[in-house]
Structure 1
Amino acid sequence: MSFGDPNNPYGPPQGQQPGYGQPQGQQPGYGYPAAPPVSPYGAYPGGPAPYGAPMPMPGTVKAARVMLWIMGILQILVGIIAAFAGSMLVNEAGLDSTASATATGVIVIIGLIGVALGVWGVIIAAKCANGGNGIRISGIVYGSLVTAGGLANMAQGQGASVVALVLGILIIVFFSKADAAAWFKRPRF
């Protein structure tokens, strides 16, 4: 027996005759290959998300967001306490001197600035989920101001300023990373 014989059952398969069970055209199992499954993490690990797939928030942005919430809320509380304590200074002492009034005004203004900075931090934290690149830049500026305040307080010998200094630096670093930039510059539909 040779493989060239068309009647050989052990030979290579011959093409099917038209009209014997299979439609004309493509053979079953042939054609375009199936598309690979789409991963929510992109074409490769750490890669960009495929078109139309939601991009998960990077861990560094989540961490910076938590730090912003904590710093903002604490700044609001401390600012309110400072402004209230400054306003009570004149009322309790009953002093009418210009020096005490000026000191009271300075304490109240510092408290109100603290409240404003705290509200700014909370707004940045709230907008991290769907904000644009301006929110990232605003977070970097906020972290810079917190760092500068921590350095100024550290120069005066206040121990709690180390925490503000470290958190401010971490906010700057986390918002400056490439994955944070990709998160805030992602397309929104």
Structure 2
Amino acid sequence: MSFGDPNNPYGQQQGQPYGQPQGQPGYGYPQQAPQGVPPQQGYGYPQQAQPGGYPGYPGGAMEMPGGVKAARVMLWVIVAFQIIGGIFSFVGAAAVNELGEGAPTADTAAMDFGAGMLVVLGILILLLAGLGVWLAASFKNGGSTTRVCAIVYGAFIVLGGIAQLPLGIVSIAVGVLIIVFVAKSDGAAWFNRPRY
């Protein structure tokens, strides 16, 4: 069999399988990558782990999504306001207690009760602030438990905002945003990512 004219584009070229057009690799024949381009791994081939990162994430370690970062910043802001609110609650309890010292006996009991309620409220607010600090600090390495706690914490912020209406509208908005940002699919992917 003769291979014909090498300049004939319709003729069979030497070294090329029969029936294969010139310059086009056939099915089942491996393609060569251009010079200077590393070979690509296709579907079904194991991927090599990136140094210091996670397999399957291009460029190494997965970066915290913007919504999760925003939720963490909102948590820190809420915590700061809760600490200020707890301090005001204790100051208010002291002021009510001081006012109750010169009052008649019936009013003194009411003043003591009011001061005690303000102290309990201040302790509750500071406990919630402590939970917020733990949540915000654990966003970087936390798992699905941190995500669920952040959603529940956001719900408590919303309930607290409802109790403070009309001034609590900002708290309601921040609580809803925390819930949405953490519950979104990229937030779920962040909190469920593999840790090595």
**Amino acid corresponding to residue 147 of structure 1 in structure 2:** V
Query: Displaced runs of 4+ in structure 1, greater than 4 A?
Result: 2-5, 11-14
Partner of 2:75: 68
Structure 1: gaps of 5 or more residues? 15-28, 37-47
Q: C-alpha distance in 1, partners of 2:192/2:83?
A: 30
1:93-120 deviation line (CA, Å, top 9, x unaligned): 4256211111000011111111111121
**CA drift at 1:85:** 2.5
Alignment RMSD (CA, Å): 3.0
**Amino acid corresponding to residue 101 of structure 2 in structure 1:** G
Q: Is the 8 A contact 1:49 1:55 kept in 2?
A: no
Partner of 2:28: none
**Amino acid corresponding to residue 120 of structure 2 in structure 1:** I
Q: C-alpha distance in 2, partners of 1:172/1:4?
A: 73
**Amino acid corresponding to residue 190 of structure 2 in structure 1:** W
Q: C-alpha distance in 2, partners of 1:12/1:140?
A: 67
Q: C-alpha distance in 1, partners of 2:93/2:32?
A: 82
Identity of matched residues, %: 38
Partner of 1:137: 148
Partner of 1:118: 129
1:2-39 deviation line (CA, Å, top 9, x unaligned): 8559xx9xx9667xxxxxxxxxxxxxx959x7136xxx
SS at match of 1:163: helix
Partner of 2:169: 162
Aligned residues: 157
SS at match of 2:39: coil
- TM-score with structure 2 setting the length: 0.69
**CA drift at 1:49:** 6.6
2:107 pairs with 1:108: no
Q: C-alpha distance in 1, partners of 2:13/2:65?
A: 56
- TM-score with structure 1 setting the length: 0.71
